Amino acid sequence: MSLTLRPYQPTDANVITTWLKSEYLMRQWCADRYERFPVTPEDMNSYHQQYFDGHNSVALTMVDDEDIVGYISIRTPADYSSEQRLGFVIIDDSRRGKGLGKAIVSMAVDYAFSKLGAIKVSLGVFENNPIAVRCYESVGFHRVVKQETECYDCLGETWNCIEMEFCKKSLSEMTLEELWQFFPICLASYNPQWRDWAKEEIGLLSEFLSEYYPIVNHIGSTAIPGIQAKPIIDILVEISPNADWQGVRKVMETAGYICMSSSENRMSFNKGYTPQGYAEKVFHVHIHAMGDNDEIAFRNYLNSNPAVAKEYEKLKLSLLPKYRNDRYGYTEAKSEFVKGIIRETKVMKKVVDAELMS
């Protein structure tokens, strides 16, 4: 066989639609995307004209020399430029058992990584299609547990979907920029559990870093009730600037944290980033030299000034569309607001100190 992928052509529909021998097979292939069975070439081309733009969504035909033997689509999910999603996977039913399914999926994954710059490729497959599930697993896809199972009403039944993903690199191999593409910024309503999760993690950190006499605090927006926040618990750990910082790093990594950045008197770690996406509990631990703790003053000010906290929330929401996959840009765009609050807290502290001294 000499298999290649090429852009879909309208005349391909004359062949592809003949592979859909029953409505059951058709629904496994497209769920509710096509309204009626049988799907005609005119239906397929009309769908293409409406939903495939050649940029954010493309359709590809697999050919063996000149023979059409497979079809697949690739699209960019909204707001996730680092991800490509496969769909409408089908092969010539007369050639089953010859590895065409694995071949077309493998070629599409390679296309997504090499030509579209994807870090992750995802797809959904119905539970009642175990042959397809095994095919995707043989390529390297793994199942992903989602908070809510996607399902469709098909032929009078409810069909559940299995979510699957294929990652180009392991998390430890990704640059920070790639990680932020893979883990976009999202904001969630305040969750009272965040405070409890922070308390638990602070207890663990205090225990296994006890030889360094740390001061540990819950910081960031998850420590400010009433405003939306990234569902990531930020924790500040202060240790002596003369401590064995490499020893601290070793302890953190042994405990399961991943070092994100490291400098002379600052280190940053995360926990809860998985190949399947965010875990239920996600933590960023910031280790600073003792006294490097403006984050605490910022947290306290916003907790004491709910109106200002709401201004901060409004700012974050306004920045989200532009910086969803750019943590650096997002942080920098907030910096003037944050610095302004920090300056004010320092002025207030000087006033209070002066009054106490007088």
Q: What pLDDT score does 324 carry? A: 86
Which of 12-21, 318-327, 344-353 is the least confident region? 344-353
Q: Residue 356 pLDDT > 70, yes or no?
A: no
3-state secondary structure (DSSP) of residue 35: coil
| pLDDT tens-digit map of 107-144 | 999 999 999 988 889 999 999 999 999 999 999 999 88
C-alpha to C-alpha distances, 28 to 64, 105, 142, 163, nearest whole angstrom: 24, 16, 19, 14
User: Can you give the CATH number for the domain in which 47 is found?
Assistant: 3.40.630.30
The Cα–Cα gap between 11 and 25 comes to 22
Q: What pLDDT score does 81 carry? A: 67
3-state secondary structure (DSSP) of residue 147: coil
Domain total in the chain: 2
Q: What pLDDT score does 177 carry? A: 75
Q: Angle 293-298-299 (CA atoms, 0-180°, nearest 5)? A: 100
- Whether 261 maps to a domain, the answer reads yes
3-state secondary structure (DSSP) of residue 341: helix
Same domain, 154 and 223: no
The Cα–Cα gap between 54 and 30 comes to 19
pTM: 0.64
- Whether 327 maps to a domain, the answer reads yes
Q: Residue 77 pLDDT > 90, yes or no?
A: no
The Cα–Cα gap between 78 and 57 comes to 11
| pLDDT tens-digit map of 137-170 | 999 999 887 767 889 999 999 999 999 999 877 7
- Whether 331 maps to a domain, the answer reads yes
Q: What pLDDT score does 80 carry? A: 63
Average per-residue pLDDT in the chain? 92
| pLDDT tens-digit map of 268-309 | 999 998 766 788 899 999 999 999 999 999 999 999 999 999
Q: How far is CA 170 from the centre of its chain?
A: 14
Instruction: Output Rg (C-alpha) for the chain, integer angstroms.
Output: 26
The Cα–Cα gap between 132 and 86 comes to 13
Residue 248: HSE in the Cβ half-sphere, 13 Å Cα cutoff: 31
Q: Are strands 57-64 and 215-219 parallel, antiparallel or unpaired?
A: unpaired
Q: What pLDDT score does 352 carry? A: 66
Q: What pLDDT score does 79 carry? A: 59
Same domain, 299 and 207: yes
Same domain, 157 and 9: yes
The Cα–Cα gap between 158 and 205 comes to 46
- Whether 81 maps to a domain, the answer reads yes
DSSP 140: T
- Residue 49 neighbours by CB distance under 10 Å: 10
**Stretch 215-234: mean pLDDT:** 96
Decide which of 221 and 55 is more confident: 221
User: Can you give the CATH number for the domain in which 336 is found?
Assistant: 3.30.460.10
**Stretch 24-38: mean pLDDT:** 95
- Residue 58 neighbours by CB distance under 10 Å: 21
Q: What pLDDT score does 230 carry? A: 93
Q: What percentage of the chain reaches a pLDDT higher than 70?
A: 96
Burial of 141 (0-12, 13-18, 19+ CB in 10 A): buried
- Whether 181 maps to a domain, the answer reads no
- Residue 156 neighbours by CB distance under 10 Å: 5
Same domain, 120 and 246: no
Domain containing 92 equals: 3-168
